[in-house]
Amino acid sequence: MIRRVPSLAQFPWLVHGFSTRLGGTSSFDPSRSARSATDLNLGNVAWDSAEKVAENRRRWLACLQAKGMKLVLQRQVHSDLIRTLDDVGTGLQACTTPGKKSRPASLPTGDALITSRPGLLLGVLVADCLPILLVDARRRVVAALHCGWRGTARRLAEKAVGRMRLLFGSQPNDLWVAIGPGIQSCCYAVGAEVIEEFSCQFPYAESLFVTRSRPLSPLETKRSIMIQAFRSNFGPRTKQETHLDLALANLRQLRAAGVPESQIASDALCTSCHPELFFSHRRDAGYTGRMMGVVGIRKKPGRGGRC
């Protein structure tokens, strides 16, 4: 149900984790009966019930041993908008509890949350995008980021480090970062729009892309034969695609912001490659659940749960 990062687990005052699809009450596999439903969907998607999502979130918080902490979410829009939650409660209208379903329209818009306030659990929902957790070990400031290609192109990770420096005096050498499970370059083929956006923004953009060949699908093979003047058995059999390394793109930004690479955990699994562990929006053509990355400061230091 939960995946933790050893480099963050060293701090007893910190609660953090990345969920998997295991250990829940939902089902996104039509071949399974309702009794065998085990998917831990943590997002309010149209094809799951509010009751199941609430129970899944209750289980998730119990696994984290985060009882009494307020889960804070946003209406994610693939932006570079960062919200800071301070002692006077800025943004606390985003807080949710496991027993209530929050309508997306009731949540403030944004894709990053930062706080130094104990008792808040900052969360981001993902199903291929990268959940990124930032921890200032000296000043006890934490941040949770939702980084898809648009947020990455807008330098969300780099801006979050800058916001922590500006508002809390965080120093990059004190930051520890975990990049959670997300779609990796092996499965993330992108089009001209993405290539152009990154090429315009980053001088090192070429290093973020890799060209891969894959076999044509039966439909693509049929089409390639149909458009030829003469039928031939020697038509194309593979297709060239450009793939984006989203994790590397964010790693480069964090390094540019001054975070030591030795303090950045970026070796998480690919969500698309592991259907037994993760939801994947691309792999499942949109009909899927949502996982969650969370980080927060405990009011009293303690150990995380074992799930």
**Residue-by-residue DSSP string for the chain:** -EE--HHHHT-TTEEEEEE-SEEEEE---TTS-GGG--E---S--TTS-HHHHHHHHHHHHHHHT-TTPEEE--B--SS--EEEE-TT-TTGGGEE-TTSPPPGGGSPB-SEEEE--TTEEEEEEESSSEEEEEEETTTTEEEEEEE-HHHHHTTHHHHHHHHHHHHH---GGGEEEEE-SB--TTT-EE-HHHHHHHHHH-TTGGGGEEEEEEEPPHHHHHHHHHTSSS--TTS--EEEEEEE-HHHHHHHHHHHTT--GGGEE--PPBTTT-TTT---TTTTTT----EEEEEEE-SS--PPP--
Residue ranges of the chain whose pLDDT lies below 50: 88-97, 99-105, 227-231
The CATH fold assigned to 2-183+246-297 is CNF1/YfiH-like putative cysteine hydrolases (3.60.140)
User: Which pLDDT belongs to residue 97?
Assistant: 47
CA distance 47 to 16: 28
User: Which pLDDT belongs to residue 1?
Assistant: 84
Percent above pLDDT 70 for the chain: 82
pLDDT, one tens digit per residue, over 136-178 is 999 999 999 999 999 999 999 999 999 999 999 999 999 999 9
User: Which pLDDT belongs to residue 245?
Assistant: 98
Q: pTM of the predicted model, to two decimals?
A: 0.89
User: Which pLDDT belongs to residue 29?
Assistant: 75
User: Which pLDDT belongs to residue 304?
Assistant: 53
User: Which pLDDT belongs to residue 239?
Assistant: 79
User: Which pLDDT belongs to residue 220?
Assistant: 56
Any idea where the domains of the chain sit in the sequence?
2-183+246-297, 190-241
